[in-house]
Amino acid sequence: MTQTLRLAFLGCGAISKFHLLGIRDGAPQIQVTAAIDVDGTRAQAVAVETGARAFTSFDEALAWGGFDAVDLMLPHDLHEEFALRSFEAGRHLLLEKPMAPDLAACARILEAARKSGSVFMVAENAQYWPEVIQVRELIEAGAIGEPETARGNFFVPPLADYYGGERAWRLDQSLAGGGIAIDTGSHWLRPLRIWMGEIDEVVAGLGRPLERMEGESLVRALLRFRSGKLGVFDGMLTAAARGPEPLFRVTGTEGEITVEGLGDVMLYDANHRRGERIGERGGYMKSYAGEFADFARAVTEGTAPAAGPEESLGELRAALAMYRSAETGRWQKVSE
């Protein structure tokens, strides 16, 4: 019989709804037993949906004790404190990205994880995004010859759930650690890294079209991969009408693959000059099921997750290098 994994939601805000869907679709062995949020209404809402107990502090939930793992979904400035406390309490940890907003904090979290022996995963759902996996398989099968360049772009509205109301931490640079590059950008940088390899250096410019946000709400970056090949990473928060543009393009010597917003992977090659849809329609929302299935397996069966937590440092380092580049006006090595 499959072992049940008792999970505590620490933070019951916007992303917790997607995590519930991921658990439902991908990891029925997970039972959410604790719903923790300083906002008791949000904790209660998750409790009602899952049958969990609601708490307004991690301390109270720990005193009760009925969970094996923590799903940490707090503002970025709180990741380190509560990750360390989770490991100290002997719990496994699924930590929302970024691991922490700075590399020194990430090093401390990784060290604490190592000492604890707990399972530790950073929740980068793009790793499990069906289209991302499909594009990787197409590239590996030689569908576009040698990939020469890739582009990822996300132009997304500043939804009230994330950028409005009382949940204004994303607007505050000291709490978020930056703007969209360090936050949503990770879900575009991970696929680019999966397809093109590690990023070596970046040159970037930032803008703040969303004036109430301290960090960047516009980023334009040129990436040079270790292979020497070039890529582009663009993002903007905008509610304005826009023309069509794929989320990703990977252009090779013999064709191009695009990922369209509705979950279609299109292949353009000598036989399909107008493009052919490859496979079933997927969708970003399907990525969470794979993430939770992987985490549950890692805890209950001891398997290695598709990507270790260190992998997420690649996106963080790239975002931090973009910030240095915007200040200096020069290419910046990602490894610095």
Ligand X SMILES: NC(=O)c1ccc[n+]([C@@H]2O[C@H](COP(=O)([O-])OP(=O)(O)OC[C@H]3O[C@@H](n4cnc5c(N)ncnc54)[C@H](O)[C@@H]3O)[C@@H](O)[C@H]2O)c1
* Residues at the site binding ligand X, with contacts judged by CB under 6 A: 11-15, 36-39, 42, 58, 73-76, 78, 96-97, 123, 125, 162, 167, 169, 183
Helix (H) or strand (E) holding 158: none
How is residue 170 written in tokens? 């994303």
Inter-residue contact 50 to 30 (CB < 8 Å)? no
- Shortest Å, Cβ 213 to ligand X: 14
CA distance 194 to 287: 15
- Shortest Å, Cβ 148 to ligand X: 29
Distances from the Cα of 314 to the Cαs of 124, 154, 198, in angstroms?
A: 11, 19, 8
- Shortest Å, Cβ 123 to ligand X: 6
CA distance 328 to 336: 14
Q: Which residue's Cβ has the minimum distance to ligand X?
A: 13
Q: Integer distance in angstroms from the first to the last C-alpha of the chain?
A: 47
Which is nearest to 314 in space by CA: 214, 251, 233, 249? 233
Nearer to ligand X (CB atom), residue 39 or residue 234: 39
- Shortest Å, Cβ 48 to ligand X: 15
Nearer to ligand X (CB atom), residue 15 or residue 143: 15
Nearer to ligand X (CB atom), residue 112 or residue 182: 182
- Shortest Å, Cβ 162 to ligand X: 5
Nearer to ligand X (CB atom), residue 12 or residue 113: 12
Nearer to ligand X (CB atom), residue 75 or residue 147: 75
Taking the CA atoms of residue 231, residue 237, residue 242 and residue 245 in that order, the dihedral angle to the nearest 10 degrees is 20
